[in-house]
Each structure stands twice: as C-alpha cells, then as structure tokens.
C-alpha cells in the first residue's frame, strides 16, 4: 500500500482511521492515536514537533503494534500508553524523548541518533538498539552487546579500565565517553545501571 503524504492533523487522522500508512511532511500538530490498529507513521525532517504535553507530541494509546518512525527531526516527543508491541524508530534524529507507559513488548531502535532519552520505568524492559556510535549497541533485559563484545550488564559495570582496554584499541576512549549515557538509559528502562546497584 502506498504511503499517504499529509501536512495537516485532519488529513493525518483521516488516513490513519482508514488504516493507511502515512508520511507526515509538514505542519505542527499533536496526534493522539486512541484505540486504533495498524498504525504506521513516518515523520520526516521538515516537521516541527515541540516538547510540550499537548502540542506536537505523537501519542499512541490502547493500540496494537503501532509503528512510528522519525528521521532528521529535532527533539521529537513520542509516547505510547496502554499499548501492545509498539515499534519506535528514530533515524538521524537529535534528542528524541521516547516514553512508554503500561506498554508490553516495546521495540526501540535508534540509528544515527544523538542523546536519546528513553523512559520505560513502569513497563517490562524493551529491547533497545543504538546505532551511530563507533559500534552498534543492543541492550536486552540483562545483557548489553557493544560490537562483538556481549556481556551481562553486571559485568559491564564492574569492568575496570584494563578489562575495557583489552577489547579494542579504541574501547577505553569509547567507554569513557559513553558509559554514563548507557547507564542513564539502563536506569530509565528498569535495568541494572551501576556497579553499586549490583553490589546492593
């Protein structure tokens, strides 16, 4: 099915209700996607999305398997509530805010995305994919893979500089630059995030 290009809230809602995949190519508006199935939304670079709760926010609520993709956007806010198996992707996106509440089996993927904020604290932990770093990163409920290095989170946080240095010639520089950010993502999504938490 061809993707429908829309620039207004009315056009977007009409296409979504008809079960058509859409590509939002302009405008500034909020979409509250309530009780709808087969949601498939792309948001491109020329959409202005604010960070307020009532305007410029993509909200999927009480839906089954919605798919939301943003690329080339700055600070989009994406929320899912009472939602089953959403797929949320950000591509070449700056500072996205992704929040899932009472959501089962979310899948969150970032590609070439800087400073993502992911809040999934009251839900089962999602599988998270992070790209745009020196190595691709996958974080599951208890493990994290950075490139070919795949270890339990508890081991990652306990590694000292010597252990990290042995992995790759660039590993220590990467770890020092990104460890705190990865810990923040783990903390916000209900995972073990620090060595202190492991010891406790």
Write the DSSP string, 105-171: S-EEEEES-BS-EEE-TTSPPPEEEE-SSSS-EEE-SSEEEETTEEEEHHHHHH--HHHHHTT-TTH
Cβ atoms within 10 Å, residue 165: 15
- 161's torsion region: left (phi>0), alpha (psi -120 to 50) or beta? alpha
pTM over 0.85: no
* pLDDT tens string 171-199: 999 999 999 889 888 887 777 777 665 44
Banded pLDDT at 123 (limits 50, 70, 90): low
- Give the pLDDT of residue 188: 75
Give the tens place of pLDDT for each residue, 45-94.
Answer: 334 333 333 334 565 655 567 777 777 767 777 777 777 777 787 777 77
166 CB contacts (<8 Å, ≥6 apart)? none
pLDDT interval class at 120 (50, 70, 90)? low
- Could you tell me whether strands 149-152 and 137-139 are parallel, antiparallel, or unpaired per DSSP bridges? unpaired
- Higher-scoring residue by pLDDT: 149, 58: 149
């Amino acid at each position: 099915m061809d993707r429908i290009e829309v620039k207004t809230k009315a056009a977007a809602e009409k296409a979504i209700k008809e079960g058509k995949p859409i590509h939002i190519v302009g405008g500034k508006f909020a979409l509250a996607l309530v009780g709808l199935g087969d949601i498939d939304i792309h948001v491109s670079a020329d959409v202005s999305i604010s960070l307020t709760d009532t305007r410029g926010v993509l909200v999927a609520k009480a839906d089954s398997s919605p798919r939301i993709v943003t690329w080339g956007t700055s600070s989009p806010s994406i929320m899912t509530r009472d939602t089953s198996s959403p797929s949320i992707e950000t591509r070449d996106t700056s500072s996205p805010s992704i929040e899932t509440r009472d959501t089962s089996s979310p899948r969150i993927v970032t590609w070439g995305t800087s400073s993502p904020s992911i809040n999934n604290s009251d839900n089962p932990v999602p599988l998270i994919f992070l790209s745009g770093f020196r190595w691709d990163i996958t974080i599951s409920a208890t493990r994290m893979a950075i490139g070919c290095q795949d270890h339990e989170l508890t081991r990652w946080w306990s590694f000292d500089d010597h252990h990290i240095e042995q992995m790759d010639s660039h590993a220590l520089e990467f770890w020092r630059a990104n460890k705190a950010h990865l810990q923040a993502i783990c903390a916000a999504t209900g995972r073990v995030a620090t060595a202190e938490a492991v010891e406790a």
